[in-house]
Amino acid sequence: MCDSCGCDLTPDHSHDSKVIEVHQSLLAANTAMAEKNRAHIEKMGAVAINMISSPGSGKTTLLEKTIEALGNSLRIGVIEGDIETDRDAERIRAKGVPVIQLTTGGACHLDAAQIHKGLHLLEKEPGGDQLDLLFIENVGNLVCPATFDLGEHHRLVLVSVPEGPDKPAKYPKAFISSQLFIISKTDLLPYFDFPVEEAKAEALQLNPELEVMPLSSTSGEGFEQWLEYLTRVCGK
């Protein structure tokens, strides 16, 4: 019995099966919608990349620098996900590419149904229906976004140097489900204890197929490799 509210805290497992069934049903519905999204994106002629990370890892800055570097050679569109505000979308819009902001109102991740809506809105934006590359900047979180397929073709996980090197060990699913691991803000390596090789080894132990890419959007270090990666996945 809980002293503060009088609730019976005795474990009740009678509803466990119902909870599991509902969870599985939700994931199945999301997966089905994700497949529709993937087909939709391919019909647009685009390749979609789902970006996941903790808040403040540098996703939006990476997108800004990428658009500056590739905006004349690749047609880029962005779907921005945030709990509140459209500040990131405004930053991307200032770079001259089509962008849609999706605010979740408290949810810690985007889901396939939201992306389905976002795709239709993006197509109404000038140039939004003719893309080579679609970035989906997910809500800042390394837990929930790793579970939900949005219809992307590639998933990348970012960890910034100030966050520390232990994120692969703490949040394994984010790394197991991704194709690319970006270690961002490498210009700060002299000021933080972040053994790059240790983080890389832990990530590769979880996912041997993972490509690991240290870079800095500020200094440009490692950025050429990132641009080559994008050109490659777009088949350009």
25 lies in some domain: no
- Count of beta carbons in the 10 Å neighbourhood of residue 147: 14
Q: Which of these, 178, 131, 154, 152, lies nearest to 38 by C-alpha position?
A: 152
161 lies in some domain: yes
225 lies in some domain: yes
- For the chain, where are the E strands, in sequence order? 47-53, 76-82, 99-103, 133-137, 154-160, 180-184, 211-214
Mean pLDDT of 27-50: 96
22 pLDDT band (50/70/90 cuts)? low
Average pLDDT, the chain: 92
Q: What is the CA radius of gyration of the chain?
A: 19
d(CA 14, CA 99): 46
Q: What is the pLDDT of residues 192-233, one digit of tens each?
A: 999 999 999 999 999 999 999 999 999 999 999 999 999 999
Q: Which of these, 103, 98, 139, lies nearest to 121 by C-alpha position?
A: 98
Residues 215/226, Cβ–Cβ less than 8 Å:
yes
What pLDDT does 20 receive? Answer: 60
10 pLDDT band (50/70/90 cuts)? very low
Q: Which of these, 62, 53, 121, lies nearest to 92 by C-alpha position?
A: 62
Q: Provide the edge-to-edge strand list for the sheet that holds 154-160.
A: 99-103, 76-82, 133-137, 47-53, 154-160, 180-184, 211-214
What pLDDT does 3 receive? Answer: 38
Q: What percent of the chain has pLDDT over 70?
A: 90
Q: What is the pLDDT of residues 145-186, one digit of tens each?
A: 999 999 999 999 999 999 999 999 999 999 999 999 999 999
19 pLDDT band (50/70/90 cuts)? low
Residues 168/202, Cβ–Cβ less than 8 Å:
yes
71 pLDDT band (50/70/90 cuts)? confident
d(CA 78, CA 61): 13
223 lies in some domain: yes
67 pLDDT band (50/70/90 cuts)? very high
170 lies in some domain: yes
106 pLDDT band (50/70/90 cuts)? confident
98 lies in some domain: yes
CATH of the domain at 63: 3.40.50.300
d(CA 162, CA 189): 8
18 lies in some domain: no
Domain that holds residue 68: 48-233
Q: How many domains in the chain?
A: 1
d(CA 189, CA 198): 14
What pLDDT does 4 receive? Answer: 34
What pLDDT does 5 receive? Answer: 38
Residues 183/73, Cβ–Cβ less than 8 Å:
no
What pLDDT does 18 receive? Answer: 55
